[in-house]
Amino acid sequence: MTRTSLCLFALPFVCPMTDTLTATILGACPHDCPDTCSLVTTVVDGVATRVQGNADHPLTGGVLCAKVSKYVERTYHPERVLTPLKRTGPKGSGQFTPVGWEEALSDIAQRLHTIAQRNPEAILPYSYAGTMGLVQGESMDRRFFHQLGASLLDRTICASAGGEALLHTYGGKLGMHVQFFAESKLILIWGSNSIGSNLHFWRIAQEAKRNGAKLVCIDPRKSETADKCHEHLQLLPGTDAALALALMHELIRNDWLDHDYIAQHTLGWETLRARALEWPPERAAQVCGLPVEQITQLAREYGTTQPAAIRLNYGVQRNRGGGNAVRAVACLPALTGAWRHRAGGLLLSASHHSPANRARLQMPQLLGARRPRTINMSTIGDALHDTAAPVQALVVYNSNPVAVAPESAKVAAGFAREDLFTVVIEHFMTDTADHADYVLPATTQLEHWDIHTTYGHTDVLLNQPAIAPVGQAKSNAQIFRELATHMARYDSAFAGAHFQDGDEALCRQAMEGSAVNFEALLAHGFANQALPDAPFAHGGFATPSGKCEFHSTALEKIGVNPLPDYLPNYEPPSAAHPLAMISPPARNFMNSTFVNVKTLRHIEGRPALEIHPDDAATRGIADGEVVRVFNDRGEHICHAAVNGRARQGVVVGLGIWWRKDGANGTNVNELTHQRLTDIGRAPTFYDCAVQVARHA
């Protein structure tokens, strides 16, 4: 229990009137959000009563988003899974009976061992960022599966297209420090609804606005963020590279270039110049569905304003050409020399500043000489139908693939296979948990230790448990420790001491070899890292050449165009499916998390499809009517929202609702496909053509 300025009582406090014991505990938000807030949980007599933002942590500033303000409601939700459950009905029916931990774990260990004896690669762990914690997300679990020799998972579902694009341009997920956007004079918010998904950046952008900065939003949807920016470029999905190339064209034509920066710190300028000159604004305007003047105006502002900053986000990379789009945008600040200023440049992700000692946590050496196959999580639908080298057991944690992975019909059919042994570690009976043989109850962030590095800023945060586990829940790491103990009956390799490291010890191991002081983390909940203000002011890119690589030899070697280019979508609108569908996050959900929290669901309402008034009118659809959204992969039934947010030709299915909440048992991923991005093997959720009709 720790002192914070928020807490009225420096130490646990017994109220003389009510005789209750009150304490405040420092934590970290576990969610897949760039803000990674510092949390303060108030606990009265062992019960968490409130979760607030830590006022002492500058980037949190005492403020949380609506979702995590409801974390107590989620933690004590009446539908929390509180005991291990064993399936009693058909797969997917959600029929289970409670069983003891001992029975569940010994049966699971025996089943996994039997499969592993024949072929450990038939076992697949499936996890993502349900918690971003290093301990509950990527420590004991990895040791367990490495020892087993299970198939490896390629964790591509969110950020790998943009991440690898940055790697091949800057040398890593490196960029501006978020706090310096406050000093920028021009901010491009590119492919992001900051108000919904990056709230603490939005606060900084507001500060810049008050200091006279101009804010420009580049997004096919008239998002809440677009509403509040000075300018909105409402381009067609998947056309960002064309826009970026036209901006370059104008920078070149008007000589708004920093020739010295280009000469010293970039690679491949002449070839990029030639490519950009193929993209006059008129050509891009056609491709992007934008007025020419909007493009030339933006180029003028970007070329003549310093410091100019780009908050690029993952909305641009969920199309076929997503990697190239990120590369094209990432070239811009090197052309104008925006990097010379700490308030200039670009931020997509800063996660390569993380000091985490992942090798220490994950112990890949436990694989020995074995080199298991790798399965891409984004094509789990196909992977579960592979008959040549079938997956026979799945262990899912920190993820809800049946709802979030593309082409759900295939994913759900795969999870429904009677010959597949599935363990799901969860808080709730999600669409995925419904398909399990065993569901194991996991602790939430209020109940376990964890340590966090982030991708939106560069601080390190410690999460201390505020309350005892609810029901019989155990932390993920504890579950894998106990599973290892059961496995040790069959295989003594699982008896190693590294399978008994406790959660707090794992938190300490995560920082081994770094400059982060663990005692300071215990006292304050967060620690800053000393880093230069302007990462590339004097070049120093982390690429092989040390330069910003417009031309990437590494990409050329893997058969990708070495220069950024515009790649049209896989699914351009057609006569049969004339509307482009995007499905970005809902403000009050976190992917498919919080969908079952009543107060938040109440705000989001119901699964809806935003559609332009003209597209609605030609189909005889009025606001609020039930519609069928369909393509060759399936059909999703929801309510039309004719609310002015969708542009003509584009529809927006907001948020990842649970399939079981859908009118016909589907969500938007019924319509998405499994084709992957140009770079990074990532899904192309927003590259999806559909037709919409009134539901009869």
Binding-site ranges for ligand MGD (CB under 6 A): 32-33, 128-131, 136, 157-158, 190-193, 196-198, 218-221, 223, 237-238, 240, 313-316, 319, 397-400, 404, 425-428, 430, 442, 476, 582-585, 587, 589-593, 656, 668-669, 672, 685-686
Find the shortest distance in angstroms from Cβ 226 to ligand MGD.
8
Binds 171, which of ligand SF4, ligand MGD, Mo ion, none (CB < 5 to 8 A, cut-off by type)?
Answer: none
Q: Write the DSSP string, 523-567.
A: HHSEE-----SSTTTT---SSTTSSEESS-HHHHHTTS-SS----
- What phi and psi, each to the nearest 5 degrees, are found at residue 579? -115, 135
Nearest to ligand MGD of 205, 262 (CB atom):
205
Find the shortest distance in angstroms from Cβ 181 to ligand SF4.
16
Binds 487, which of Mo ion, ligand MGD, ligand SF4, none (CB < 5 to 8 A, cut-off by type)?
Answer: none
Find the shortest distance in angstroms from Cβ 153 to ligand SF4.
24
Nearest to ligand MGD of 87, 448 (CB atom):
448
Nearest to ligand MGD of 539, 573 (CB atom):
573
Q: Which residues pair with 250 in a beta bridge?
A: none
Asked if residue 439 lies in contact with residue 96, where contact means CB atoms within 8 angstroms, the answer is: yes
Find the shortest distance in angstroms from Cβ 591 to Mo ion.
7
Nearest to Mo ion of 299, 326 (CB atom):
326
Find the shortest distance in angstroms from Cβ 591 to ligand MGD.
3
Asked if residue 435 lies in contact with residue 91, where contact means CB atoms within 8 angstroms, the answer is: yes
Q: Write the DSSP string, 99-152.
A: --HHHHHHHHHHHHHHHHHH-GGGEEEEE-SSS--HHHHHTHHHHHHHHHTPPE
CA-closest candidate to residue 181, choices 587, 457, 530: 457
- What phi and psi, each to the nearest 5 degrees, are found at residue 508? -65, -40
Find the shortest distance in angstroms from Cβ 521 to ligand SF4.
17
Q: Write the DSSP string, 606-622.
A: S-EEE--HHHHHHTT--
- What phi and psi, each to the nearest 5 degrees, are found at residue 47? -115, 130
The residues of the shown chain that bind Mo ion, judged by CB under 5 A, are 158
Find the shortest distance in angstroms from Cβ 79 to ligand SF4.
21
Binds 68, which of Mo ion, ligand SF4, ligand MGD, none (CB < 5 to 8 A, cut-off by type)?
Answer: ligand SF4
Q: What is the dihedral of CA 145, 150, 155, 156, to 10 degrees?
A: 180
Binds 142, which of ligand SF4, Mo ion, ligand MGD, none (CB < 5 to 8 A, cut-off by type)?
Answer: none
- Mention every residue, 6+ apart, whose C-beta is less than 8 A from residue 295: 233, 243, 246, 247, 250, 281, 284, 285, 288
Nearest to ligand SF4 of 61, 613 (CB atom):
61
Find the shortest distance in angstroms from Cβ 158 to Mo ion.
3
Binds 135, which of ligand SF4, Mo ion, ligand MGD, none (CB < 5 to 8 A, cut-off by type)?
Answer: none
Find the shortest distance in angstroms from Cβ 198 to ligand MGD.
5
Binds 130, which of ligand MGD, ligand SF4, Mo ion, none (CB < 5 to 8 A, cut-off by type)?
Answer: ligand MGD
d(CA 365, CA 125): 18
Asked if residue 667 lies in contact with residue 658, where contact means CB atoms within 8 angstroms, the answer is: yes
What residue spans of 139-185 are helical by DSSP H? Answer: 140-148, 160-167
Find the shortest distance in angstroms from Cβ 315 to ligand MGD.
2
Binds 296, which of Mo ion, ligand SF4, ligand MGD, none (CB < 5 to 8 A, cut-off by type)?
Answer: none
Find the shortest distance in angstroms from Cβ 37 to ligand SF4.
3
Asked if residue 668 lies in contact with residue 683, where contact means CB atoms within 8 angstroms, the answer is: no
Q: What letter does residue 416 receive in the DSSP assignment?
A: T
Binds 75, which of Mo ion, ligand SF4, ligand MGD, none (CB < 5 to 8 A, cut-off by type)?
Answer: none
The residues of the shown chain that bind ligand SF4, judged by CB under 6 A, are 29, 31, 33, 35-37, 64-65, 67-68, 199
Nearest to Mo ion of 41, 445 (CB atom):
445
Residue showing the smallest CB distance to Mo ion in the complex: 158
Nearest to ligand SF4 of 70, 612 (CB atom):
70
Asked if residue 338 lies in contact with residue 308, where contact means CB atoms within 8 angstroms, the answer is: yes
Find the shortest distance in angstroms from Cβ 340 to ligand MGD.
26
Binds 543, which of ligand SF4, ligand MGD, Mo ion, none (CB < 5 to 8 A, cut-off by type)?
Answer: none
Binds 442, which of ligand SF4, ligand MGD, Mo ion, none (CB < 5 to 8 A, cut-off by type)?
Answer: ligand MGD
Nearest to ligand MGD of 189, 335 (CB atom):
189
Nearest to ligand MGD of 552, 596 (CB atom):
596
Q: What letter does residue 483 receive in the DSSP assignment?
A: H
d(CA 420, CA 384): 9
Binds 344, which of Mo ion, ligand MGD, ligand SF4, none (CB < 5 to 8 A, cut-off by type)?
Answer: none
Map residue 41 onto helix, strand or coil: strand
Binds 657, which of ligand SF4, ligand MGD, Mo ion, none (CB < 5 to 8 A, cut-off by type)?
Answer: none
What residue spans of 168-239 are helical by DSSP H? Answer: 194-197, 199-210, 224-228
Map residue 638 onto helix, strand or coil: strand
- Mention every residue, 6+ apart, whose C-beta is less than 8 A from residue 336: 251, 256, 257, 258, 302, 303, 306, 308
Instruction: Retrieve residue 304's tokens.
Output: 């003549």
d(CA 164, CA 129): 18
Nearest to Mo ion of 403, 436 (CB atom):
403
Find the shortest distance in angstroms from Cβ 65 to ligand SF4.
3
CA angle 626, 631, 636 (to 5 degrees): 35
Binds 218, which of ligand MGD, Mo ion, ligand SF4, none (CB < 5 to 8 A, cut-off by type)?
Answer: ligand MGD
Asked if residue 161 lies in contact with residue 191, where contact means CB atoms within 8 angstroms, the answer is: no
CA-closest candidate to residue 89, choices 439, 431, 434, 440: 434
Asked if residue 416 lies in contact with residue 93, where contact means CB atoms within 8 angstroms, the answer is: no
Nearest to ligand SF4 of 305, 588 (CB atom):
588
d(CA 346, CA 333): 7
Q: What letter does residue 221 receive in the DSSP assignment?
A: B
Q: What count of residues does the chain have?
A: 696
Nearest to ligand MGD of 535, 585 (CB atom):
585
Binds 64, which of Mo ion, ligand MGD, ligand SF4, none (CB < 5 to 8 A, cut-off by type)?
Answer: ligand SF4
Nearest to ligand SF4 of 33, 204 (CB atom):
33
Nearest to Mo ion of 158, 182 (CB atom):
158
Binds 199, which of ligand SF4, ligand MGD, Mo ion, none (CB < 5 to 8 A, cut-off by type)?
Answer: ligand SF4
Find the shortest distance in angstroms from Cβ 373 to Mo ion.
25
Find the shortest distance in angstroms from Cβ 436 to Mo ion.
23
